[in-house]
Every structure is written in C-alpha cells, then in structure tokens.
Structure 1
Amino acid sequence: MGSGLISERIEGMDNIISLPIPDVSVVVPIKDEVESLPHLLDAIASTLQGCNLSYEIICVDDGSVDGSPQLLKEKAENRSDLKSVILRRNYGQTAAMAAGFNHATGKVIVTLDADLQNDPADIPMLLSKLDEGYDMVSGWRQKRQDKALTRLLPSKIANWLIRRITGVRIHDYGCSLKAYRAELVADMNLYGELHRFLPALAYIEGARIAEMPVRHHARKFGQSKYGLSRTFRVMMDLLTIAFMKTFLTRPMHVFGLLGLSSIFSGGAIGLYLTFVKLVFHEDIGDRPLLILAVLLLVTGVQLFCFGLLAEVLMRTYHESQGKPIYRVREVITKNIN
C-alpha cells in the first residue's frame, strides 16, 4: 500500500498542514475494558509495525464506567498512533463503530473487539485477502471460545436466519474482526443494531465480500456485554435490512403490490355480495364477508398511499444528499495517444 496525503485545516489558522494517510485505521469500540486495553494496544501496534504499515488506532469509549476513558486519555497523550474518542454516554456498539468510522482516515479500516478475544495477529491475513480484489473481508470464528448454551447456540441460529433472509452467505455475522476499504465504509450509514449486519449492508452497496477463518480466544478480563436481551432489536433490524436489500429504491413495488392485492380481494368480495343481494335478494348486512370486504378495501388504499409516500421519501433521501442509486466500481476507457 502506498502513502498519500490528506489535508487537515487547523482551527483558527489559515495554513493547511498535509498529513500522511495511514495504510490502516484500526477501530476499536470499548465498553468497560480497562484491563484489556494496554495488552490490546500493544498487540495491534506490534502486528502492524511488523508488517511495515503506517497505521492509526481509533479507540471509541462508549460510556465506560471502569476507568477506560481515563486510561485512553493518558495513552493518547503519550502515543502518536492512538486517537481516543470518548462518547458522552453509552450509545451502543453500532454508534461507537460509526464514530470510529467517521474519525478514521486510513485507506483500509479494520474493526475488532477490545476484549482480546479477537487476535490482532490475524489483521495482516485479512489485509492480504483484501488485496486480492475484495472490498470487505469478514472474520469467521470457527473455534469459538464461548459458552455453548448462552452464546454459541443462539449465534448459530441467528447466523442461519440472517443468511436465509439477506442472501449473504457469511458464516459468522457476529465476528467484529473485519477489514473494509475506506470508500465502502463511506457509503454505509449505521443505525440501531446494524453493526452486526455490515456484510449485508456492504452487499447492498455492491461490495465484493470474502470470509476467512480467524482465531478466537477465551475472555481473560471483565464480562461479556452480549446477551439474549438484544434478540428483539436484532430481529427488527433484520427486517429493515431485508427490506433495504430488495426494495430500497422501489418501495412502491412492495406496498403497491400488497395494496392492489388487498383492493382487488375486497372488490371481488364486494361484487359477490352485491350479486347475492340483487339476484337472490338475500340480506348481507350481518355477514362477516361485508366487514372483510370493507377492511380489505380500506387497507388496500392505505398500503397504496404508503407506497406513494415511501417513493417520495426515497427520492428525497437520494436527491437531497446527492446519493446515486448505483455504485461504480471502475471506469475503463481506451487511451488515445
């Protein structure tokens, strides 16, 4: 990886200082990991220095209460390779990762957890795979060192479900050790619990995705921040991802289809009841079918209107931010001398 230059304006000064663009930005979201941090920072630095890569480490503290913010401040004052981002309160891992992405300046961005279960020694392997032409390389913890009942089983079920719904064949969505090209990260916006669906978001952006087995160690310090309490939020975000993957630029296709189907069904039932009333002179006022016909017609009109509103919102989303509905990988032209 070659080096480049990035311009950074210093507040209150007119001159512009050119700083080298690092080859790698390592983003580490942190929540109460004060014991792990010194070991993690040394391991990351040792690995990347051994590869002769320029790098920066961006640690994002997500409302820690165990002294992690104070330690990060001390480390950042004495290390030129560390940038500490202290959030005002606990926002969640997705927000912490988004903050890290926003402060990263490297050509490649690597993410990993701060609990030492991900091994920084695997980073060069991910970078080598990325150089083969991929936009994202995701780690796969084949031999996880976690509890079988509370961590492994729910994870296997969740990964299977996510693969089925998103269509992105990644074995381990929950592994935080991933490498991305910076331009890919710039196209992805994170909300809710979407950090675990980054491969699916990358796929929506047209990224080439690879997966590699990585090492996984048992936790040495602290306690896990993950649990079954996140299940509902993950399911809601999964539905959001499934919708975005298929109907992001054409929401009318889903709402309009459902609306027209509902209107057609309600109209057909209404015509049948009208026929019964006019031809056979039967009373239809107390029939459940009449209520069903009215409900279907009203629901159909509402769904159709939702589709129109969603189309307007999508156009506003893309046009107001200048977001294209496509992503260009490369442009090839014939050179004429």
Structure 2
Amino acid sequence: MAKFATYYLKYNHEFAPHDWEDRQKHLAALFAEDSNIVFGEGTPTEAQQAQGLPYNRVFEHRVYHLKCNPDIILVQIANSIDVPLENNFEQTVVKNEPSLFVIIDNRQGVRTIAIQNRRKAFSAPKRVADILAEKISNTLSNNYCYSLQILPDYYPKDLFKAWEEQQRNAQAMQFPSTYEMSDEEILRKVQMLKTEGKEYFDDSLVPSLLAMSTEAKKAKYKQKYRVMPEDKKTALYVDKTTVYMRNLLTLARATDEPVEIVTYGGTTFRCFVESDEDNTDKIVHHSFDDHLLEMLFKGKRADGQKAEPEDIDKAEGKVVEMLNDMKHLSEDVEAEENVA
C-alpha cells in the first residue's frame, strides 16, 4: 500500500491577471498531454540546450486522466539519480529513475493534490510539491500574470492543545484501531515512550488492543475506537488519568496515527498526540493500492493480465473515493484581498 500526503493548490491573484476565472482550465491544459510541461532542475549544458532541454536534470513524467472524470489527473513522475557502480574493478555510473504518483483533483472549486510518500523516489512529498509548483507557477505567471502555490494540509497541532481549545464543544474522539506498523515495531515504540515519562503513558491494555487490531485485520474490518461521554449532554473534557484513555493515547502516539476530535457542530480536528513542527512529512496521509494506479497507466492488472473495463472502473472509483475523503475546496487569494 502506498501512503499519500495531502497538499492543496492556492492561486494567487497578481496585478492585472489574464483570464483569472479560467485558472482551472489553464492548469488542465498543462497536463493535457505528457509533453505539455517539463519538470526538472539545474541549468542545462550547451548540449542539453541544443536538444531543447530547459533543465540540467529532467524529471520524466506521464499523465492519465480518469475516464469517469477527466478533471482528476494522475501523474507518475520519476527522479533522475546517478548510481555509481563498480564492475570488473571499473567505476561506472548508471541511471536509476524511481517514480511515485501524484493525483491532482482539478474538479470545479477543488484544489486537492495527493502526493505519494515514497523515499526511494524523492526524499519527501514536499520536494515533489516544490518541483511541481515552481514550474507550474512560472508558466502561469508568464502566460496569465498570476501565480500558484502547492501547500501542505498539516494536522493542526498536537492533540492536547486542540482538545483544550475544543473541549466544551467536543462530542467524541476517534482513535485508529488498525495500524501499518507491525506489533513488534509498535511495542518497541511503546517501550521508548515508557522511558520518556509521558504523563499520559499507560501500556497495560496495549497488548489487548493490538490483539483486537489483529483480529480486525483478519476479518477485513476497518473501524475506529469512538470515545464519547456516557451522558450525551456532557462535553468530552481533557482526560489524561483514566486507564482506558491513557492506553489509547499511548498507542496512538506509538503508531504515529492521528486522533480525531469530533465537535457538536460536526467539525473534525485530526491531530497527532504530540506535534513535530519540523517534520514536513507529518501531514494528512491516506493509504491506497498503488498497483491500481499502475494498472490505469499500463492497462494490465498486478497479475499481468489485461485490465478489463470493470477493473478500470473499479480502480477509478477508488481514486475518486480517496479524493472525496481528502477534498480541499478553493482557498484562492482573490483580487479584492490584494487591493491596497
């Protein structure tokens, strides 16, 4: 399963932009064909300039538009890495081009970009976001006099700060019940937390919770532990004392999984137990089967057989489902906000 970090587009209204109302059409045009835009970095050599290459290092990419909604654009982009090898005592360099997937949700009013977190290809989703944003923004600025940013959808803050702010409105909290990490990895993290003396630490129920998680996976259940007051009229106040809550907090911290605070107004705050502002990868993540994305590009299933129309429809449906779950609506900087 691939992990996708959630980013979003923000269009910046500059002085006298051309066709500002058509900005989403302009973005779509850049990804209409593979050759419409080139991503890369570095100043090209004279030989590269003669070939018409705008960069010293070009990141090859290919594009797929969902048949069910062409405004949803899949991009597979590859890094360009020189790998030194020694063959028969001779040093040689070979090209390695590991890739990852980017999903651009360009539906009307939607600004979501999902970037696969695959360190083998790029060090972090932020690096991919910066590569895309620089080229796209420069192109739009040159052609239409407005710019664009690709920004991360961070979890707001650590859980306790958000909980204290929202506790009078907090109706419930939801903890994950299945985890990407193995039980052994989780228990090692739990032991590390034990040495740190966290005030919420309690591992007395963790083995039982992990056993429940294992059984849930076997039965193919996806659920969450929902915690709410027995009296529905009572707010869910900050609790670091009860055995049940402390164990849930300890497990969420050990697995680096977010906890959801649900308010009476229906707003959901997704937070880590403790924030790490320096970690730019710690942004909203969603799991997705990257074999399905590969199938959309290649037309073949993971078993090598030809993908049938129903396979394509199912895969595209799952892409739309993930994007609807992470949907980020318009946050453009409109003209009137820039008038001095």
Q: TM-score range by the shorter chain?
A: under 0.3
Higher helix residue share: 1
The TM-score normalised by the length of structure 1 is: 0.20
The TM-score normalised by the length of structure 2 is: 0.20
- Give the structure, 1 or 2, with the largest relative contact order (CA under 8 Å, sep 6 or more): 2
Higher strand residue share: 2
